[in-house]
């Protein structure tokens, strides 16, 4: 082999790596910060929304948001949910879902805004679960 053929092979290999190596890295999904993913297809958006819901808080093990849209918060649990940081955590998870999949619907057909409104109204001291009996 001559120098010209070696140069041609090196050039080809360099261009090949330059073009195709970044393509493999572009699809890496960020499971801990799903809002950083490029959700170019509906399936990627759904997956990122699922990653948002996998963001759990150690202090809110009883009130975990899952794809059903049900938080397992009773009226008796309301004060601890609202003041214990669980409402803030759940609102942050909902915000993450809103950023990765704007049209996300839970199994109970509620959307992100429905759950946001329910939590905010339920934790409002003037009208929600904190209201004196």
Q: For residues 54-80, b (16+ Cβ closer than 10 Å) or e, as one string?
A: eeebeebeebbbeeebebebeeebbeb
Question: How far is C-alpha 22 from the geometric centre of its chain's CA atoms?
Answer: 25
Listed residue (20, 15, 21) closest to 7, CA to CA: 15
Residue 29 pLDDT? 72
| DSSP three-state, residue 111 | strand
Identify the pLDDT of residue 96. Answer: 93
- What confidence tens digit (pLDDT) does each residue in 95-117 have? 999 999 999 999 999 999 999 99
Q: Model confidence over 40-71: pLDDT tens digits?
A: 688 888 989 999 999 888 888 888 899 999 88
Give the confidence band of 125 by pLDDT, cuts at 50, 70, 90: confident
If one compares 33 and 130, the residue with the highest pLDDT of the two is: 33
What is the predicted pLDDT for the residue at 60? 86
The pTM for the full model equals: 0.72
Give the residue extent of every domain in the chain: 31-122
| Confidence band of 2 (pLDDT split at 50, 70, 90) | low
pLDDT tens digits for range 65-93: 999 998 888 888 889 999 988 999 999 99
Q: Reduced to 3 states, what is the DSSP secondary structure of residue 60? A: helix
Q: 10 Å Cβ neighbour count for 111?
A: 17
């Amino acid at each position: 082999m001559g120098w010209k053929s070696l140069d041609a092979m090196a050039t080809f290999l360099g261009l090949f790596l330059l073009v195709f190596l970044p393509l493999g890295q572009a699809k890496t999904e960020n499971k801990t910060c799903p809002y950083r993913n490029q959700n170019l297809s509906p399936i990627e958006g759904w997956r990122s929304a699922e990653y948002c819901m996998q963001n759990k808080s150690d202090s809110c093990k009883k009130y975990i948001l899952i794809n059903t849209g049900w938080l397992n918060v009773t009226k008796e649990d309301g004060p601890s949910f609202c003041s214990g940081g669980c409402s803030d955590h759940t609102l942050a998870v909902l915000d993450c879902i809103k950023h990765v999949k704007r049209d996300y619907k839970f199994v109970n057909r509620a959307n992100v805004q429905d759950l946001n409104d329910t939590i905010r109204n339920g934790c409002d001291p003037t009208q929600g679960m904190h209201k004196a009996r």
